[in-house]
Amino acid sequence: MTQPAVSGTRRRFLKWATGVGALGSAILAGLPALRAFIAPIFGRAAPQTWVKLGEADLFDPDVPTKVDVVQTVSDAWVETRELHSVWVVTADGEHFTVFSGRCTHLGCAFAYDKAQKHFQCPCHQGMFDPKTGAVLGGPPPRPLDQLETKIDKGDLYVAYQDFRVGTAQKIAV
């Protein structure tokens, strides 16, 4: 008994189905990879989150106050909490300036020197004006990073974000 010949239409269909399957697989695997490469170009900003610093009335005028804040960060399924420091400065108790607690030189934490009346970074002796954040001495390439603030129902809030250190431009990371 002889085998029936495989028809040309069946073979053509199998080639077509294999090609469509391969193309579909390439698209399904390639789109996420392509999106990962292209996403930084569009620079989608992270949603701004406000962190409560405390009651506005409790900050003494002309006395820089260090406040540690906890910020919740979500990355896909993982939710972590990050501890940051900020410095709150007010001259009149109504208008507030909040500086990031990181030195703009290398990101070290700095402190307020009460005797000298300026911020002092212990790493490389960077000095900053407590009212404006201007560099008074040392290697920092730019003033302290000032953060956006708001007062809501008597409470002071800050929109915390980090900036690239060691550069003359204030670039968000």
Lowest mean pLDDT among 46-55, 64-73, 99-108: 46-55
pLDDT (tens digit, 9 = 90+) per residue, 84-98? Answer: 999 999 998 889 999
Burial class from Cβ neighbours inside 10 Å (0-12, 13-18, 19+) for residue 121 reads buried
94 and 35, same structural domain? Answer: no
Q: Indicate whether 167 belongs to any domain.
A: no
pLDDT at residue 74 greater than cutoff 90:
no
pTM above 0.75, yes or no: no
Range of the domain at 59: 50-159
- Report, in this order, helix, strand and coil percent for the chain, each rounded to 5: 20, 35, 40
137 and 80, same structural domain? Answer: yes
Q: Indicate whether 96 belongs to any domain.
A: yes
Q: Indicate whether 172 belongs to any domain.
A: no
145 and 76, same structural domain? Answer: yes
83 and 5, same structural domain? Answer: no
129 and 91, same structural domain? Answer: yes
pLDDT at residue 44 greater than cutoff 70:
no
Name the average pLDDT for the chain: 88
More confident residue, 45 or 108: 108
